[in-house]
Structure 1
């Protein structure tokens, strides 16, 4: 049974039983505490918790998920994968335990010919929460399971909650017994790989209070009991396809086979190689799906996880003996395996491929540079006589350069060294602790979002701002410090919930409106406008005067100057995007934007800088569109219809069933967009591209000023040009040549000055050599040379004097005033170091006296400080130390 067949059987079964079939949400979660959609129920959390009224009583989905907390187990067990698909059926106050168990048993055990999965009843086991007698009795009644195949387990495995006060309830899990050849007898309670969990039924029926994961009070029953279930699609697939693990199913195996072909290794011949091939197969598929949902490799957040998956794949290919690029073969194999279920991986493959290949090229360079750094660490460790590379060095390689720890261990072993793994693990633990603290803070913030639930239950906030700049409404709620209150007074910072608003909430890359909320006896300055949960707008305000209360009549007032400038900027972004694609081609696709009054920023997929000529062309095309006074229209359309018309969507952005389509001079620009816009392009006024820069190996950023801000910027430049023409007595059109001549003359003069200064320094050398005194077997030069331009001058002087003293043991310590601060350079030769003199020790000693710090290598070191008057004392200390 192919994976796509399992998916369709699931959706057909529950669709036929009154469930609304909901398409998979993006892997990028709306939940601010989650980087990704980590479970099938995540998109339904607002409905399950009652935060947002459910739009349907029952639903079913096959949800794309990413989970990396068990990433080290990938490839080692039959069921751990970073990307997986979760079949789910959900009830929002509709059916409960009996129906959930009946549906599960019917679908699992019905014959394949009748649309079921055809599992043999004798191979199925279930677990229930230890005190859930109701579930145990239902399994006996509905499935006829004997007591020994219904195992009661504790809260840590068979009880669900968010980890915070709120909904909770017992679980019942369904397992498939693979047979005695796969492990010990005894059922799921043995926690053996022989028993594969395929379905989890969550009976969400209680309200829990504060506590720990496995210890908290039950405060009572939920007003509505919900059902949340999840079946692992890949787990069912490998059982129904008769293969050994999820890496061998039809959607994953082609990548594994390609890794085997590229490496010349045979899958099944070596355990370690098999694990590496399974890691590659899993991680390439996960990366493909993440990039199809708009995630890009980066050094933080979601992009960091994606980068880690890609780099682990490259590392695993390297361990298979392949050091050349391989993504050009691996990603097409994954695309072809996944496109039947997710057509977007094929239609968007050019963009995905560019990202993958660019990241592979970058990391292969990283491996080369990291290897050089590690080689230096190995040499330093060996030279010092140690046998262990310091943990902080290894951590820096891992954290800063992305150099894999297992590669470090391998290369260290080849050099006959070990790694201070305890220190490395300690630093990693500290980093994880910081990340967990941050995640905990975010989770607490989510818990506080429950305050919005009652307001959202009253309906969606109506946004009137597309047509109106003022709207009369009623204050539904006031929130201060995360708690709902009745009133707010002068000076308070509060959140105001209105039934209707003209103020635009930040979204779609557009900053929130500026404005106010006024009413009888109060005036509120609007600081920010956001959508904390879907369908609800919250206004963060400061009470400027009066006192405001729940139920008061209020008017939202948009600052018209701000709104017009913001609309100019947003429309300008659309023009720049269209001009960009006209100039560079359709591969230059928008990857993000940010707009506010007078400013527009556009990120786009491209892997090289734009030439000045290309920038000018883009700017000219956009401004020609402004000149042509193109009409700007908006329409509300079903998403599928909008896309069929060619409307462009932003990668990673989430869209509902209906969308707003913005057309400028259709079909000149056609995009999905919820932002505010001008009515005709001439209202934009002027677009001035101010910069174009890199924001990653495959992404660029264009920044522009718009309207009056662009005009002011150009007038400033005009004033600067006017001042230059006057000062240089040169016509404007000749300024570039005149300035180029001046720069060339300046460089020539600087070169001559440097030559004079070098000659002057060289003239000092004989006198300094003549000051050498003998301290024991060492010739010692200790001098304050006055003022020099840079520490490099002082260093050059010290090394030259050292060379002039020949092969006798010599120590040179020179101090100087460098830009008003003391500096000291200490140089030694081989003979001096053989007597135990170390330049780094002497420089550090002197720097401490000078009020600063210093150090360096044994042959050459420097120090500095803040106390010029202490130079004589510092030099005396060096002399005394050498004499000692």
Structure 2
């Protein structure tokens, strides 16, 4: 049975049982606790936590997931994967244990002819929580499961929570016995290789308190509504039903290995376990990488981008070790597109952009790979020449952190050179880095939104801002410092929840509206508006006068000037995005945006800077759209209808069942968007691009002013040109040529000054050499040269002084400060080197004094530091090193 068919049967089984089919969420959701969606229930968290009322009593989905905690183990075994699909059925206070068990049993053991999976009931085992007698007896009653195939397990295996205070409960796991050739008898408590877990049924019935992630927390009581959350591993079921041993041999993964075999001429499973690891790494990471890029992740050096970069570079490294030297990522991406496309058609539609991102990352890595290999070869040569046999941990970490070398690549290269690697030192540095990353995540942890639970139960806030600026409303609740309060008085800053509001809440890249909340004798200045659970508008406001209380009748008022500018900024973003795609092609998709009155910022997937001509063309296309006064239309539909219309969705956004499509000029610009917009494009006013820059590998950023801000920017530019023209006494159009001529004259003058400075420095070389001090028979010239002398001039002077020392053993050390930085050069004479003096080895003696580092060869070394005040101490340290 093909994997796509397994997913289809799951969804059909549960929709026939009254569940609403919910599409997979993006792999990147707005959850500070998660880099990527890692379980099927993630998109339903607000319903389980009580932060929002569920729109349906029961649901089913096949969710794409990525887990990255053990990337280094991928390929070494057949059990570790980064990307997988989790099928699930969910009940929000509707049905509970009996129905969950019955649904699962009927699907798993139902005949394939009737739409089931056809597993042999005699090979099914289950586990339940230690004291969950109810589940134990239900398995016996519903499935006829004999007691000896129902095993009880403890809190770490069969009790579930989110790791934070909130819903929790016992779970029941379903296992399939693969047979005696796969391990020992005795059920899953004895051998989880033979007895493979395929489904976990979570019975969410309790509420937990503070404590450990998996155990050591109190159970506070039962939930008022009991829920069901299940997860079935699509890939695990696939390899069982396809009669293969692991996920790497299934229909959706094996084709990537086949492509790698074709490219390398080597064979998977041919008896070379090292090659097999490489094939598995390629297959797993290719799938994960394409799915991540498809959901808008671009390679980078932080967070999600770093994980993606690591995955893609591990593919390139593995392919190189299989003997392939040509580019490979676009070809592997095409295989993933063809295999995964039937379930995720957006991969086919968006493939030009995906291919561009992975191709650019491979080209970038090949450049850093060459640089990293040079660093490694130099380090290995120095170690061997000094009689050492181990690459230091910090060097291995540098190769990993700076050049993207996984540790196993460094280990392999070192072994080829006859060297070992200080793995413990490397792992210590990695642990420090992970600790810093975890600390950063904790700083942005998931806020406690339970205070809004009762307010959410009253219903969603009605947003009226599309139709009006002023709206009559009633205060439903007040929150201060995370606690509900009955009232707030003048000077207080409080969060205000009302039943209706005209004030836009920050979302979709658009800043929240500025405005007021006013009532009888009460006025509040709105500082910010945010959404909770996508349904509740929370206004942060300062009480200017009076006392605001729950139940008070008020009016929300949007600052009209702010709204005009906000609409121009957001509509301008859509126009620039459409112009960008028209000029660069459909693969130049927006990956993020920010807009506020008069300003917009748009990030998009693209490799390489835009030329001035391209920028001008984008600006011209944008302003032509403004001049043509295109109509702006809003259409409400479902996601399927939006996709049929060709509407562009923003990566990482979560959309409701009904979506809002904003058109500017019909199909020219058609995007899913909840923001506020102009009625016609001419209302945007002029659009002026003010910047284009890189925001990471494969991602660029455009910035622009719109409306009056664009006019003010252009007026300022015009005044600048006129002032320059006046100063240079030329017409405006001659300013560039005159400035270019002045710059060239300045360059020539600087060259002449450099020559004079060099001559002046060299003239003092004889005097400096004559003043050399003798330390144990070594002539030492160590001094602070005039501030501001660069490294090249220092080097020239040091060589000249060294030459003046003649045949004596000698050392020249020159330092120069330039603001907060220090440059230094150390040179040794031939006689000094014969006596055992090496410039590079002298640097560590004084570098700490100036907070610096550097290195070089025995005859010459140079470097820099950050503490000019330590130059005298550095010279003293150097004297001490020579004296000893």
- TM-score by length of structure 2 reads 0.94
User: Which residue does 2:336 correspond to in 1?
Assistant: 334
User: Which residue does 1:643 correspond to in 2?
Assistant: 643
User: Which residue does 2:263 correspond to in 1?
Assistant: 262
Provide, for residues 608-651 of structure 1, a one-character-per-residue CA deviation record: whole Å limited to 9, x for no partner: 32222222222122222222333323232333333323333233
Q: CA deviation at 1:553?
A: 2.0
**Distance change (3 Å), C-alpha of 1:144 and 1:46:** same
User: Which residue does 2:253 correspond to in 1?
Assistant: 252
Q: CA deviation at 1:652?
A: 3.2
The equivalences for 1:742-761 within 5 A come to 742-761=742-761
Deviates more, 1:67-76 or 1:172-181: 67-76
For residue 137 of structure 2, give the secondary structure of its aligned residue in structure 1: helix
Unmatched segments (≥5 aa) in structure 1: none
User: Which residue does 1:362 correspond to in 2?
Assistant: 364
User: Which residue does 2:377 correspond to in 1?
Assistant: 375
Distance (Å, rounded) in 1 between the aligned partners of 2:593 and 2:372: 34
When the two chains are superposed, the root-mean-square deviation of aligned CA atoms in Å is 2.8
For residue 307 of structure 1, give the secondary structure of its aligned residue in structure 2: helix
8 Å contact from structure 1 (residues 204, 225) kept in 2 = yes
**Distance change (3 Å), C-alpha of 1:767 and 1:788:** farther
User: Which residue does 2:158 correspond to in 1?
Assistant: 158
User: Which residue does 1:656 correspond to in 2?
Assistant: 656
Deviates more, 1:169-178 or 1:461-470: 461-470
User: Which residue does 1:518 correspond to in 2?
Assistant: 518
Distance (Å, rounded) in 2 between the aligned partners of 1:571 and 1:773: 74
Provide, for residues 216-252 of structure 1, a one-character-per-residue CA deviation record: whole Å limited to 9, x for no partner: 3222221111111111111111101101111111111
User: Which residue does 1:93 correspond to in 2?
Assistant: 93
User: Which residue does 1:16 correspond to in 2?
Assistant: 16
User: Which residue does 1:120 correspond to in 2?
Assistant: 120
User: Which residue does 1:322 correspond to in 2?
Assistant: 324
Q: CA deviation at 1:868?
A: 9.2
Unmatched segments (≥5 aa) in structure 2: none
2:400 aligned to which of 393, 398, 407: 398
The equivalences for 1:171-210 within 5 A come to 171-210=171-210
User: Which residue does 1:634 correspond to in 2?
Assistant: 634
8 Å contact from structure 1 (residues 847, 865) kept in 2 = no
Q: CA deviation at 1:805?
A: 2.9
8 Å contact from structure 1 (residues 184, 192) kept in 2 = no
Distance (Å, rounded) in 2 between the aligned partners of 1:244 and 1:877: 65
**Distance change (3 Å), C-alpha of 1:801 and 1:566:** same
8 Å contact from structure 1 (residues 788, 794) kept in 2 = no
**Distance change (3 Å), C-alpha of 1:616 and 1:186:** same
Q: CA deviation at 1:685?
A: 2.1
8 Å contact from structure 1 (residues 630, 664) kept in 2 = yes
Distance (Å, rounded) in 1 between the aligned partners of 2:467 and 2:649: 24
8 Å contact from structure 2 (residues 784, 871) kept in 1 = no
8 Å contact from structure 1 (residues 824, 847) kept in 2 = no
Provide, for residues 467-505 of structure 1, a one-character-per-residue CA deviation record: whole Å limited to 9, x for no partner: 211212111122222222222333333221111111111
User: Which residue does 1:797 correspond to in 2?
Assistant: 797
Provide, for residues 647-685 of structure 1, a one-character-per-residue CA deviation record: whole Å limited to 9, x for no partner: 332333333332222222334433222111122222222
User: Which residue does 1:225 correspond to in 2?
Assistant: 226
Deviates more, 1:390-399 or 1:693-702: 693-702
Q: CA deviation at 1:837?
A: 5.0
Provide, for residues 812-847 of structure 1, a one-character-per-residue CA deviation record: whole Å limited to 9, x for no partner: 355678789998754322422444556578778889
Provide, for residues 780-826 of structure 1, a one-character-per-residue CA deviation record: whole Å limited to 9, x for no partner: 44667667744543432122120233443123355678789998754
Distance (Å, rounded) in 2 between the aligned partners of 1:139 and 1:526: 56
Q: CA deviation at 1:380?
A: 3.0
Q: CA deviation at 1:77?
A: 4.1
Distance (Å, rounded) in 1 between the aligned partners of 2:656 and 2:130: 41
Instruction: Say whether residues 1:385 and 2:413 are aligned partners.
Output: no
Q: CA deviation at 1:173?
A: 0.8
Distance (Å, rounded) in 1 between the aligned partners of 2:44 and 2:819: 65
Distance (Å, rounded) in 2 between the aligned partners of 1:316 and 1:877: 47
User: Which residue does 1:129 correspond to in 2?
Assistant: 129
User: Which residue does 2:532 correspond to in 1?
Assistant: 532
User: Which residue does 2:716 correspond to in 1?
Assistant: 716
**Distance change (3 Å), C-alpha of 1:120 and 1:813:** closer
User: Which residue does 2:778 correspond to in 1?
Assistant: 778
**Distance change (3 Å), C-alpha of 1:142 and 1:644:** closer
Distance (Å, rounded) in 2 between the aligned partners of 1:298 and 1:546: 50
**Distance change (3 Å), C-alpha of 1:489 and 1:418:** farther
Deviates more, 1:809-818 or 1:620-629: 809-818
For residue 369 of structure 1, give the secondary structure of its aligned residue in structure 2: helix
Q: CA deviation at 1:20?
A: 1.6
8 Å contact from structure 1 (residues 565, 707) kept in 2 = yes
User: Which residue does 1:454 correspond to in 2?
Assistant: 454
**Distance change (3 Å), C-alpha of 1:769 and 1:563:** same
Distance (Å, rounded) in 1 between the aligned partners of 2:335 and 2:269: 20
Deviates more, 1:177-186 or 1:747-756: 747-756
User: Which residue does 1:312 correspond to in 2?
Assistant: 314
User: Which residue does 2:277 correspond to in 1?
Assistant: 275
8 Å contact from structure 2 (residues 414, 420) kept in 1 = yes
8 Å contact from structure 1 (residues 843, 863) kept in 2 = no
Instruction: Say whether residues 1:464 and 2:464 are aligned partners.
Output: yes
**Distance change (3 Å), C-alpha of 1:460 and 1:796:** same
Q: CA deviation at 1:211?
A: 2.7
For residue 38 of structure 1, give the secondary structure of its aligned residue in structure 2: coil
For residue 190 of structure 1, give the secondary structure of its aligned residue in structure 2: coil
User: Which residue does 2:438 correspond to in 1?
Assistant: 436
User: Which residue does 1:302 correspond to in 2?
Assistant: 304
8 Å contact from structure 1 (residues 473, 554) kept in 2 = yes
Q: CA deviation at 1:103?
A: 1.6
Provide, for residues 394-438 of structure 1, a one-character-per-residue CA deviation record: whole Å limited to 9, x for no partner: 212212322111111111222222222112111111222233334
Q: CA deviation at 1:870?
A: 9.4
Q: CA deviation at 1:508?
A: 1.1
For residue 694 of structure 2, give the secondary structure of its aligned residue in structure 1: strand
Distance (Å, rounded) in 1 between the aligned partners of 2:785 and 2:298: 55
User: Which residue does 1:673 correspond to in 2?
Assistant: 673
Provide, for residues 303-346 of structure 1, a one-character-per-residue CA deviation record: whole Å limited to 9, x for no partner: 22222221222222223222332123212112111112222211
8 Å contact from structure 2 (residues 57, 92) kept in 1 = yes
Distance (Å, rounded) in 1 between the aligned partners of 2:264 and 2:848: 57
The equivalences for 1:480-559 within 5 A come to 480-559=480-559
- TM-score by length of structure 1 reads 0.94
Q: CA deviation at 1:441?
A: 4.8
Instruction: Say whether residues 1:733 and 2:728 are aligned partners.
Output: no
Provide, for residues 682-705 of structure 1, a one-character-per-residue CA deviation record: whole Å limited to 9, x for no partner: 222221111122223333221111
Q: CA deviation at 1:603?
A: 2.0
**Distance change (3 Å), C-alpha of 1:621 and 1:150:** same
Larger relative CO (CA 8 A, sep 6+): 1 or 2? 2
User: Which residue does 2:685 correspond to in 1?
Assistant: 685
Distance (Å, rounded) in 1 between the aligned partners of 2:515 and 2:506: 13
User: Which residue does 1:620 correspond to in 2?
Assistant: 620
**Distance change (3 Å), C-alpha of 1:820 and 1:648:** closer
May I ask how many residue pairs the two structures share in their alignment?
Answer: 880
